[in-house]
Structure 1
Amino acid sequence: MLVNLGCGQEKGARLTFWQFWPSEIITPIITEFEKANPGVKVEMQQLTWQNGFEKIVAAVSSGTQPDLCELGSTWVPRFAADGVLSDITSEVKDLRESYLFWDSCTLDGKIYGIPWVAGTRVLFYNKRLFERAGLDPEIPPRTWEELIDCADRIHALGKDVYGFGMNAGERYILYKKFMPFAWGSGGDILSDDLAHSVFSSKENVDALHFYCSLRDVSLMEKQDVLDMAFKQGKLGLQISGGWNLRTIPSDVPELEFGVALVPKRALDRGFHASFAGSEVLVTFVKSKHKREALKLARFLISKGNVISLCRSAKSVQPALKGAENDPYYESHPLERVFVIQLGTAVPPPPHPSWVEIEEAINTAIEEAIYEIRSPEDALAEADRKIERIVSRADG
Structure 2
Amino acid sequence: MRRTGLPALLLAAALVASACSGGGSGQDGDVVLTLWTRAATESLSKAYAEAYNATHSTKVEVTAYPNEEYPAKLASAAGARALPDLFAADVVFAPQYASQGLWTDITDRFEGLEHREHLAPSHVRAGTWEDRNYALPHTVDLSVLLYNKDLYRKAGLDPEKPPTTLREYADHARRIHALGGDVRGTYFGGNCGGCVEFTFWPSVWASGGDVLDDEGERATLDSPEMAEVFEVYRSLYEEGVAAPASKDEAGPTWLGALRTGKVGIGPAASVWLGEIAESGADVGLAPIPGLDGGESTFVGGDALGIGATSEHVDQAWDFLAWTTTEQAQVGVVAKGKNVPTRTDLAANEHAAADPRLVTANSLVAKGRTPYARNFNASFNDPQSPWLTALRGALFGPDPAKALAEGSTAITASLGQG
- Name 1:180's counterpart in structure 2: 202
Tell me the secondary structure at the aligned position of residue 325 of structure 1.
coil
Secondary structure at the aligned position of 2:63 is classed as strand
Residue 376 of structure 2 aligns with an amino acid whose one-letter code is: V
**Pairwise CA distance, 1:163:** 0.7
> Relative to structure 1, is the Cα distance of residues 151 and 326 closer, same or farther in structure 2, using a 3 angstrom cutoff?
same
- 1:360 is matched by which residue type in structure 2? P
Q: Which amino acid aligns with 2:359?
A: V
Q: 1:80 is matched by which residue type in structure 2? A: A
3-state SS, counterpart of residue 215 of structure 2: coil
Aligned to 2:56: 37
Residues 202 and 99 (structure 1), Cα distance of their counterparts in 2 relative to 1, 3 Å cut: same
Matched, 1:200 2:222: yes
- Displacement of 1:379 after TM fit? 1.3
Match of 2:299 among 276, 300, 315: 276
Asked if 1:371 is matched to 2:396, the reply is yes
Aligned-pair RMSD on alpha carbons? Answer: 2.4
CA distance in 1, matches of 2:215, 2:150: 47
The structural deviation recorded for 1:31 is 4.3
**Matches of 1:110 and 1:329, distance apart in 2:** 33
Structure 1 CA distance for aligned equivalents of residues 28 and 299 of structure 2: 41
Quickly say closer, same or farther: Cα 1:310–1:363, change in 2 above 3 A. Answer: farther
| Offset at residue 384 of structure 1 (A) | 1.0
Aligned residue runs from structure 1 range 54-65, under 5 A: 54-65=72-83
> Quick one: which of 162, 167, 191 aligns to 1:169?
191
What displacement does 1:230 show? 2.8
Q: C-alpha separation between the residues in 1 aligned to 2:27 and 2:168?
A: 62
Q: What is the TM-score normalised by the length of structure 1?
A: 0.87
Tell me, yes or no, if structure 1 residue 386 matches structure 2 residue 410: yes
Partner in structure 2 of residue 355 of structure 1: 376
The Cα offsets for residues 42-64 of structure 1, whole Å up to 9 and x where unpaired, read as 33323332322222221121122
Q: For residues 229 and 189 of structure 1, what CA distance do their matches in structure 2 show?
A: 28
Distance of 2:43 and 2:188 partners within structure 1: 34
Residue 306 (1) aligns with residue 324 (2): no
Aligned to 2:264: 236
What is the DSSP-based 3-state SS (H/G/I as helix, E as strand, rest coil) of the residue aligned with 2:359? helix
> What secondary structure sits across from 2:145 in the alignment?
strand
Structure 1: stretches of 5+ with no match in the other structure:
1-7
TM-score, L = length of structure 2: 0.83
8 Å contact from structure 2 (residues 202, 288) kept in 1: yes
8 Å contact kept, 2:167–2:292:
yes
Q: What secondary structure, in the 3-state scheme, does the structure 2 residue paired with 1:192 have?
A: coil
User: In structure 2, what is the Cα distance between the partners aligned to 1:196 and 1:335?
Assistant: 35
The within-5 A match list for 1:39-118 is 40-95=58-113, 96-100=116-120, 101-118=123-140
- Asked if the contact 1:117/1:306 (under 8 Å) is kept, the reply is no
The structure in which a higher percent of residues are strand is: 1
Residues 89 and 303 of structure 2 are in contact (CA less than 8 Å); yes or no, is this contact kept in structure 1?
yes
Q: How much has 1:311 moved relative to structure 2?
A: 4.0
Amino acid at match of 1:65: L
**Distance across 2 between alignment mates of 1:9 and 1:182:** 48
CA distances 1:188-207 after superposition (whole Å, capped 9, x unpaired): 12222334332312222222
Percent of aligned positions that are identical:
25
CA deviation after TM superposition for structure 1 residue 354, in Å: 0.9
CA contact (8 A) 1:15 1:43 kept: yes
- Taking the aligned partners of 2:175 and 2:29, their CA distance within structure 1 comes to 68
Q: Residue 218 of structure 1 aligns to which amino acid in structure 2?
A: A
Q: Deviations over 1:159-204 (max 9, x none)?
A: 0111111223333322222211211112212222334332312222
Conserved? CA contact 1:113–1:283, under 8 Å: yes
